[in-house]
Amino acid sequence: MDNLNLISNFAEFKELKNIDKATMIGVLEDVFRHALQKQYETDENFDVIINPEKGDLEIWRNREVVEDGAVENPNCQIAVSEVKAIDPTYEIGDEYADQVNFAQFGRRTVLSLRQNLASRILDLEKAALYEKYSEKVGEIVTGEVYQVWKREVLILDDDENELLLPKSEQIPNDFYRKGDTIKAIVKSVEMNNNQPRIILSRTAPQFLERLFEQEVPEIFDGLITIKKIVRIPGERAKVAVESYDDRIDPVGACVGMKGSRIYSVVKELRNENIDVVNYTANTSLLIQRSLNPAKISSITLDEEKKTASVYLKPDQVSLAIGKGGLNIRLSKMLTGYDIDVYREVEEEDVALTEFSDEIEGWIIEALRNAGCDTAKSVLELPVEEIAARADLEVEQAQKVVEILQAEFEE
């Protein structure tokens, strides 16, 4: 095993893992000097010369030329007769340098040296990987799906570093096969048993924010600011934006001409619906915008309790609540207020709370949570739907209908 052979493998390793030359040279020299200390008890009179470009290494030992019979330490001194047999020009007191061959170390020493070198370079690579991705937390990375497991997906980046996308950080509609290209943000980086563990996320609000930065130049340039993002991944999201330039419409800029900008974001998020809202410090107005497309008649705020009572026309209630209650849930998350939705009571209609002496309180509350605040809003629905919405027995729903109908028959 010669010098060139030993070092060339690690020159290739360096190239693959992008370890800088100065660090690589330092590690190589340190490892070989450690081997010299074990072999000769000192490395002070050795020169270690490394050429990382060619991938070769030389070790030279420097010894003082002394009189025959005066050699006390053969590692630091050499007899003049021995030197003159090689080069007659040497005299006593000169310094003689000879190259050290790995064959002199012995097989076990060379094997130990190789293992130590490999271990040091791998540790160096782990530290470099940890540092590299620690600086990328919150940024988007692109990788290729290498392995799909039940609880997580293994992804390789351009340098074939391993990244993990846990099931909890995947959009519910995500489906991957080996070889697929995937985008995600770096959520966290941690050291686990001296091994960097890089966690990605596609459900974090920051992922949506980075996607907007990529698609909307005004956000990237700082002309439009994203004030807050709330998401129910794979279903719906609301993004509050603000512009410091009156000439720029922040909502229009984010959506783009005919939805061209937001389309790319929606596609990446597996058709997640995105509502872009013009941010305002006026809480009432922000709540009104967040409940879009519903048109609100009036709002009553309790700033101490952080609650809002929103009154709408009967045909607007379902729009405010949204499919599966998503719209109102996201509005609460965006504004920080607990929002209660009420139907405007028309003169000929009667609020459900007026029937508290005939209908149990929990049933009235269940009906209100289902978007039915008045007698007529309940009577507009079939008995089966009333039962389904309020989680009642059909007989209970029928009884409620009879009580409400009696009010109008009088």
Above pLDDT 90, what percent of the chain? 46
Instruction: Indicate left, alpha or beta for 298 from its phi (over 0: left) and psi (-120 to 50: alpha).
Output: beta
- Residue 16 is predicted with a pLDDT of 47
- Residue 12 is predicted with a pLDDT of 53
Report pLDDT digits (tens) over 173-222.
899 999 999 999 999 999 888 889 999 999 999 999 999 999 999 999 99
Provide CB contacts within 8 A for 90, sequence distance 6+: 65, 80, 83, 84, 96
Tokens of 189: 């980086």
Q: φ, ψ for residue 239 (rounded to 5)?
A: -125, 120
What is the rounded CA–CA span in Å between residue 305 and residue 323?
A: 27
Domains of the chain: 3-128 (3.30.1480), 148-201 (2.40.50.140), 280-344 (3.30.300.20), 352-409 (1.10.150)
pLDDT exceeds cutoff 70 at 347: no
Residue 2 confidence class, pLDDT cut points 50, 70, 90 = very low
Provide CB contacts within 8 A for 56, sequence distance 6+: 3, 4, 7, 8, 50
Rg (CA), the chain: 37
CA distances 144 to 133, 177, 180, Å, are 17, 10, 6
The bridge status of strand 162-166 relative to strand 152-156 is antiparallel
- Residue 61 is predicted with a pLDDT of 87
Q: Which residues face 145 on adjacent strands?
A: 155
pLDDT exceeds cutoff 60 at 335: yes
- Residue with the two structure tokens 């950080």: 169
DSSP secondary structure code for residue 233 in this structure: T
Residue 230 confidence class, pLDDT cut points 50, 70, 90 = very high
* DSSP sequence for 258-302: GGHHHHHHHHHTTS-EEEEEE--S-HHHHHHHHTTTSPEEEEEEE
Provide CB contacts within 8 A for 33, sequence distance 6+: 43, 46, 48
What is the rounded CA–CA span in Å between residue 53 and residue 8?
A: 10
- Residue 53 is predicted with a pLDDT of 65
Beta carbons of 254 and 211 less than 8 angstroms apart: no
Tokens of 94: 């000169």
Beta carbons of 91 and 80 less than 8 angstroms apart: yes
Q: If you average pLDDT over residues 255-267, what whole number do you get? A: 92
- Residue 169 is predicted with a pLDDT of 96
- Residue 346 is predicted with a pLDDT of 55
Report pLDDT digits (tens) over 113-129.
777 777 877 888 888 88
Burial classification of residue 41, based on how many CB atoms lie within 10 Å of its CB (0-12 exposed, 13-18 middle, 19 or more buried):
exposed
> Which of 162-166, 300-304, 373-377 is the least confident region?
373-377
- Residue 19 is predicted with a pLDDT of 64
Above pLDDT 70, what percent of the chain? 91
Instruction: Indicate left, alpha or beta for 336 from its phi (over 0: left) and psi (-120 to 50: alpha).
Output: left
- Residue 75 is predicted with a pLDDT of 87
Report pLDDT digits (tens) over 269-309.
999 999 999 999 999 999 999 999 999 999 999 999 999 99
- Residue 30 is predicted with a pLDDT of 83
Beta carbons of 121 and 14 less than 8 angstroms apart: yes
Neighbours of 83 (CB within 10 A): 20
- Residue 98 is predicted with a pLDDT of 85
The bridge status of strand 56-66 relative to strand 95-99 is antiparallel
Signed CA dihedral, 335, 337, 342, 344: sign only: negative
Residue 345 confidence class, pLDDT cut points 50, 70, 90 = low
> Which of 1-5, 238-242, 268-272 is the least confident region?
1-5
Signed CA dihedral, 164, 166, 172, 175: sign only: positive
End-to-end CA distance of the chain: 107
Q: φ, ψ for residue 326 (rounded to 5)?
A: -65, -40
Instruction: Indicate left, alpha or beta for 86 from its phi (over 0: left) and psi (-120 to 50: alpha).
Output: alpha
Mean pLDDT, the chain, rounded, equals 87
Report pLDDT digits (tens) over 25-68.
777 788 888 888 887 888 888 888 877 666 677 888 899 889 88
Beta carbons of 28 and 7 less than 8 angstroms apart: yes
- The verdict on pTM exceeding 0.85 is no
Report pLDDT digits (tens) over 142-153.
999 999 999 999
DSSP secondary structure code for residue 193 in this structure: T
* DSSP sequence for 134-168: HTTBTSEEEEEEEEE-SSEEEEE-TT--EEEEEGG
Question: Which residue, among 256, 201, 181, 6, has the nearest Cα to 109 in the 3D structure?
Answer: 6
